[in-house]
Structure 1
Amino acid sequence: MTEPSYLDTPQRRRIAYHRTPGEGPGVVFLGGFMSDMEGTKALHLEDWARNAGRAFLRFDYSGHGQSSGAFTDGCIGDWAEDAEAVLDALTEGPQVLVGSSMGGWIALLTARANPERVAGLVTVAAAPDFTEDAMWAGFDAEQRADLERDGVVHLPSDYGEPYPITKRLIEDGRAHLVLRAALHLPFPARFLQGTADADVDRAVALALLDHATGPDMRLTLVEGADHRFSEPDCLELITDSVEEVRARAARRRG
């Protein structure tokens, strides 16, 4: 594993990243909740970009991977700020955003705030508004009381240690919901979702497609694919979708 470079953000967070030079529009990978930039999808996209001569960027949000800070100090708004800082400092021109799980929510926030910086969008098992619709809505009375008293509850995870869910994460999430207000995506957008995803139900993907507006949106359901979406056919679908989005974005600009 090669050593990352680092970006110091205006919020005084130190963000680890790897950047591959190449032709634009560049591709930026936005990872998931408690994930990092060393995952299968990020590395697959990096290999694709290097072989295709495309510009590519992967990074760790603060409190994730090799970036500064503790995970429990962060929230959706902080991680969206990290993404904005990375886009501003490390990329040129509109980018194709590839958002995995929580990264899909971050990508949608980025697109809503700065649509001029987005050439296109590919989401993989996007989880918009999950702190409210999946976590808070799923808490029982005891968990809600624990969160209020202790400021944190721990949820079991299929990927390792339990997830520490802080009161700040829940409250901040409510300030960044994207499925409650207008969400216009004025560029090619592809939403990818597995039917066997145990973490993000296909209903979320359908709700996103129904709620968002835009001239070029498509949802692809992959029978049997799980939340990792990392089987060879799934990885190929991600890169095919990125290529399609880049090509359609270029035609729109031309």
Structure 2
Amino acid sequence: MIRAIAIENRRGLTIRGYLNRPDDYNGTLVVYFHGFTGNLTEHGGMFRDFSRLIAAHGFASLRCDFTGNGESDGAFRDFTYDTLVEDAEAILDHARTLDKKETVLLGFSMGGAVAAYEAARRAEEIDRLLLWSPAGNLSKLIKTRYEKAPKLTNGNVDYPNFELSQALYESLSQYDWHSGLENYHKPVKIVHGRLDQAVDYLEAYRYHGLFPNASLTIIENAGHGYDTRASREQLFAISLEFLRGRRV
């Protein structure tokens, strides 16, 4: 059964999402963190399709839009690393109230970076971690875009379809997405496409080296969004096996 959910964050904004709990629920809840300028459906329906696939195997999914994205409150111009972490923590606080035996945190791209960051700080709550193309280099990418682009009168940048704020730029230095990852000793699965043009696949090796209990798969013909049928099927198959508790 799929139902809409609403979570209020510390700023009083509503985070909106979906909880998909199948009738034959096996007790494992997967919490999803989407990428930069993404949403709870994700690129090409990636999150939606994976949640449907794993529901057929008894896994529940909690997918939400960060504030300023998708159907959640706020505007993207108000999005910063502070709001990102605040929203991630509000979603995890909500997940803690749900009926479950274990929690698996899944993050894609930017969502992978913040998922890893939160797992290291809430290890007692996060039983396993699944990272798709984690963007540990996100700060560098945003910094480059912001500094090279013409500025609006308010100091923001008119990035295609999104307004990157000066506050976001100023928040970059406050977070090291790799900090403390060596303290998370539970199972981690990392998947990355070798043809990724948004986040260099070498970033996956850095994550793999930081986590004490991680395995890594590089999908040879996959880009950042796993756009081909073959690459997406491989991504989903590897991820499902990890959820089933098998070493992949």
Q: TM-score when scaled to structure 1?
A: 0.82
2:32 pairs with 1:29: yes
Tell me which residue corresponds to 2:157.
153
Cα 1:89/1:182, change in 2 over 3 Å: closer
- Contact 1:103–1:126 (8 Å) recurs in 2: yes
Matched residue type, 1:98: L
Cα 1:77/1:112, change in 2 over 3 Å: farther
Question: Structure 2 matches for 1:71-86, cutoff 5 A?
Answer: 71-86=76-91
Cα 1:199/1:112, change in 2 over 3 Å: same
Distance in 2 (alpha carbons) for counterparts of 1:66 and 1:84: 18
Q: CA RMSD in A?
A: 2.5
Tell me which residue corresponds to 1:58.
63
Cα 1:234/1:191, change in 2 over 3 Å: same
Equivalent of residue 41 in structure 1, options 33, 46, 55: 46
Distance in 2 (alpha carbons) for counterparts of 1:220 and 1:3: 33
Question: 1:229: how far off?
Answer: 1.4
* Percent of residue pairs identical: 24
Distance in 2 (alpha carbons) for counterparts of 1:96 and 1:230: 24
Distance in 2 (alpha carbons) for counterparts of 1:4 and 1:25: 19
Cα 1:186/1:237, change in 2 over 3 Å: farther
2:129 pairs with 1:121: yes
Q: Is there any run of 5+ residues in structure 2 with no aligned partner, and where?
A: none
Distance in 2 (alpha carbons) for counterparts of 1:153 and 1:188: 39
- Contact 1:9–1:15 (8 Å) recurs in 2: yes
- Contact 2:36–2:111 (8 Å) recurs in 1: yes
Matched residue type, 1:5: I
Q: Which has the higher helix share?
A: 1
Matched length: 237
Tell me which residue corresponds to 2:225.
228
- Contact 2:189–2:216 (8 Å) recurs in 1: yes
- Contact 1:31–1:102 (8 Å) recurs in 2: yes
Tell me which residue corresponds to 2:188.
189
Matched residue type, 1:136: K
Name the SS for the 2:56 alignment partner: helix
What's the CA shift string for 1:83-136, capped at 9, x where partnerless? 2212221344541111111110110121122111111111111112412x2232
Equivalent of residue 244 in structure 1, options 235, 241, 245: 241
